[in-house]
Amino acid sequence: MPHTVPACPQCGLENTYPDADNYVCPDCAHEWPQAASADSDEAAGDGVVRDANGNLLQDGDAVILVKDLKVKGSSTTLKKGTKIKSIRLVDGADGHNVDCKTDLGSLLLKSEFLKKA
């Protein structure tokens, strides 16, 4: 059975290929180590959630947004640098794995747009 190459973690496209010790995505030029991919697949099954810098997140942590995020169903935007306190980790749909309370109410966010404060 051939080894399957994972989709790009940055853009999500499956047009990736192995190159030496890395995987490469020709669509967005993102490269990531093959060994880390196996580790992150195992970690994802364990419910481990990491921020944009790879730091482990836990319930109750404070985080900071690393980019502006438009809120679906609203005309408002969460601004880069906004600090969010007391997050809760959840197994949400479409990779939304952080539940938090903001001025706009309770929201689900993706951990890839957060960094640990």
Average pLDDT over residues 74-100: 89
Cβ neighbours of residue 6 closer than 8 Å, sequence gap 6 or more: 16, 23, 37, 41
Same domain, residue pair 8 and 39: yes
SS3 content of the chain, % helix, strand, coil (to 5): 15, 35, 50
Q: What band does 62 get if pLDDT is binned at 50, 70 and 90?
A: very high
Record the tokens describing residue 22, joined without a space: 């890395």
Per-residue pLDDT band at 99 (split at 50, 70, 90) = very high
- Mean pLDDT over the full length of the chain: 82
With bands split at pLDDT 50, 70 and 90, how would you rate the model's confidence at 81? very high
pTM of the model: 0.59
55 plus 73 within the same structural domain: yes
User: Do 55 and 112 fall into the same domain?
Assistant: yes
* Residue 25, domain extent: 1-46
Which CATH number covers residue 75?
2.30.30.40
The mean per-residue pLDDT over the stretch 77-81 comes to 93
Closest CA to 35 of 46, 22, 45: 22
Q: What's the pLDDT score for residue 86?
A: 94
Q: Is the dihedral of CA 14, 67, 107, 117 positive or negative?
A: positive
In whole angstroms, what is the distance from residue 96 CA to residue 108 CA? Answer: 6
* Domains identified in the chain, total number: 2
pLDDT score of 74 more than 70: yes
What's the CATH code of the domain at 6? Answer: 2.20.25.10
Residue 65 or 42, more confident: 65
The residues that bridge with 114 in the sheet, in sequence order, are 65
In this structure, are 32 and 65 located in the same domain? no
